[in-house]
Amino acid sequence: MPQQLVAIDMGARRARAVVIEASLRKAEITGCHSIDIDPETDVAEMMWRKVHKALPAHIDSVVVNAPTRSLSMRLLAFPFEDARKIEASLDFELENQVPYNIEDIASTWTVSERGGGKSTILAAVMPREGLLQQIQYLQQAELEPRAMVVPSAALVELVPDDSSAMPLAVLSIGERETHLAVVHGGLKFARTIRAGGANIDRALAKMYGLTVEQAGVAKEAEASIVGENSTQDARAAALTVMEGLAPVVRGVAATIKSLPSEHAPTKILLTGGTSRLPGLAEYLSEKLGARVELLDLKSCLGEITCTAPLGPEYAEALAMALASFRRGRSMILNFRRGDLSYHGDLQVYRSEVVRIGVGLAIVLVLAIGGSILRYGLIAAEESKIRQGFCDASKRIINQEVCNPDRLIAILRGGSVDASEFQVPTYSASTIFEMMSSTIGADIDVKLEDVEIKVTGRPDDPDRISAKGEAADFETTEIIANRLKTHPCVQEVEVKDQSKARQSNRVNFKLFAKVTCAPGMTPMTEVETADTATELSAADEESEMDRDSEQVPEDM
């Protein structure tokens, strides 16, 4: 079943949510929701319930942004690289930099830079009471989050994969807040500036005598940052827009200036709802001294498909959704860790899991040690029994025999004859050669699966078994008769004769027993038989000659 992952970016007057539906085969953005919030009438719990009603009925995982009004970012330096030492020292280091006691703060951190035995840590701090209250409101609205992340830090997920080698920044200018993330092979710094598009609305309202709401509508319809060649009214409106943007420009410029030169961004990716303002990218590029480009959010999705309209105003929500989808609970600067972890996460039970793991490891080591000890005891007992068997055989037959099978064979035979254990004087190839010579090349036969067992003992004949294919039934009889003529062949048997339907040839099985006289081999018998045949033929020829010589005398 597909999993529904929801990331919610809660603002002062509007909540935006991105829904990702993920399965084993694909992931897809199925919805982008914008919910208006009235801070005067919507109390905290009612506000979250209102958001929940606009979302899918079934939600598996929720990620929300941490409240930024009470959030503070700090860069800390440590003279070591060990993560455990950093974790142990972090709260004490932060206590000297924030106006809270250690037990009254919630913190999260990530490594910004590490090397040479030193570490630079980017830490986020906020009051613990405010975070717990926010979690309680979300629980009551049935939207308990797995993660509460710093929204500016989540913007690192919007950096294209091919841009990791160069320092760059992602700048999201929203309605009331501007989020900045500096990335160079990883997150180097993140900051939230409490200024945004609403500052432009107030500047336009003051300039033209409008309400803030009317100025906001006019800004979205007509406002732009134009050049020197435009009309006087257009330049006046552009100067007013620049005046409203001044807090954002100052905050971003100060942040970039405070960074080490090697991490100062050479390119800034611009997003957020205010990025729709015409001419904004060029204006910021001139003021910040870096190339500013509009960011296409769909280019950051990777393998995730998108069927919903995805505008730049969803940048923070999309960044948090991508962080949850790609990193799980290991999202950067997530406040739900330690005792504040989501109760469905393993981190809550980490200490118990560690204790159980240690216990299981001890049991496993003891089991392995017990098995080794038991094996050693059994091996020693087996060695003792084997030696007792050898001693018993020496007492019985006056010879030490440690092989039980050999001792039983000796006892059955009644005597110990060394010839019974001699190595055979010929091999299976010798018997095979004898078969080939005896059958002869003139016989139309094909043998396969030939198995020859050579025992080398006079009381246990050698055995031949094979499958064959002959021209006809008479051929099989000729093969059996020729093998029987050999002095070493004791028995020959042809079985399972059958005629093949297609080839009309005879299939059969051949079995034979071979035993040669002492000092002789199957091939010796063949050679002797051939010599006797030749002498016999010579005797017959000489006798015929004598008979032919006697014929004239009788005549």
Higher pLDDT, 466 or 148: 148
The residue among 52, 107, 99, 105 whose CA lies nearest residue 76 is 107
By the 8 A CB rule, do 463 and 503 touch? no
CA distances for 50 relative to 43, 142, 268, 321, angstroms: 10, 11, 35, 20
Helix (H, G, I), strand (E, B) or coil at 398: coil
Two structure tokens written together for 360: 């299981």
pLDDT digits 0-9 by tens, 350-400: 556 777 888 999 999 999 999 999 998 898 888 888 888 888 887 777 778
Confidence band, pLDDT 50/70/90 cuts, at residue 34 = very high
Q: What is the DSSP string of 72-133?
A: EEEEEEES---HHHHHHHHHHHHHTTSSS-GGGEEEEEEEEEEETTEEEEEEEEEEHHHHHH
pLDDT digits 0-9 by tens, 207-234: 989 998 898 888 888 888 866 657 788 8
In this prediction, residue 555 carries a pLDDT of 36
Q: What is the DSSP string of 267-296?
A: EEEEESGGGGSTTHHHHHHHHHTSEEEE--
pLDDT-wise least confident of 28-37, 303-312, 499-508? 499-508
In this prediction, residue 349 carries a pLDDT of 46
User: How many residues belong to the chain?
Assistant: 555
pLDDT digits 0-9 by tens, 235-264: 888 899 999 999 999 999 999 999 998 999
Helix (H, G, I), strand (E, B) or coil at 10: strand
In this prediction, residue 222 carries a pLDDT of 82
The rounded percent of the chain whose pLDDT value lies above 70 is 88
Burial class (CB in 10 A: 0-12, 13-18, 19+), 414: exposed
149/350 Cα distance (integer angstroms):
21
At residue 533, does pLDDT exceed 60? no
- Maximum pairwise Cα distance, the chain: 167
The residue among 129, 47, 119, 130 whose CA lies nearest residue 87 is 119
In this prediction, residue 510 carries a pLDDT of 85
The rounded percent of the chain whose pLDDT value lies above 90 is 41
* Mean pLDDT of all residues belonging to the chain: 84
In this prediction, residue 350 carries a pLDDT of 54
In this prediction, residue 219 carries a pLDDT of 86
Determine the angle formed by the axes of helices 128-140 and 44-53, rounding to 10 degrees. 50
Stretch (H or E) spanning 533: helix 522-554
Which stretches within 175-307 are classed as H helix? 197-208, 212-222, 232-258, 280-288
Model-wide pTM > 0.75: no
Amino acid at 121: I
pLDDT digits 0-9 by tens, 172-211: 999 999 999 999 988 999 999 999 999 999 999 999 899 9
pLDDT digits 0-9 by tens, 36-68: 988 777 677 788 999 999 999 889 899 999 988
Give ∠ CA 209-203-252 in degrees, rounded to 5: 175
Helix (H, G, I), strand (E, B) or coil at 496: strand
The residue among 228, 212, 45 whose CA lies nearest residue 139 is 45
pLDDT digits 0-9 by tens, 101-159: 888 899 999 999 988 899 999 999 999 999 999 999 999 999 999 999 999 999 999 99
At residue 419, does pLDDT exceed 70? no
In this prediction, residue 486 carries a pLDDT of 83
In this prediction, residue 352 carries a pLDDT of 62
In this prediction, residue 537 carries a pLDDT of 46
In this prediction, residue 92 carries a pLDDT of 85
pLDDT-wise least confident of 41-50, 363-372, 417-426, 479-488? 417-426
- Rg, the chain, Cα only: 48
Q: Of 97-106, 261-270, 472-481, which one has max mean pLDDT?
A: 261-270
Instruction: List CB contacts of 155: < 8 A, sequence separation 6 or more.
Output: 170, 172, 179, 180, 181, 190, 315, 316, 319
Yes or no: domain 428-526 corresponds to CATH 3.30.930.10: no
Sign of CA dihedral 422, 428, 429, 434: positive
Number of other residues whose CB lies within 10 A of the CB of residue 530: 11
CA distances for 475 relative to 127, 437, 496, 505, angstroms: 104, 16, 15, 10
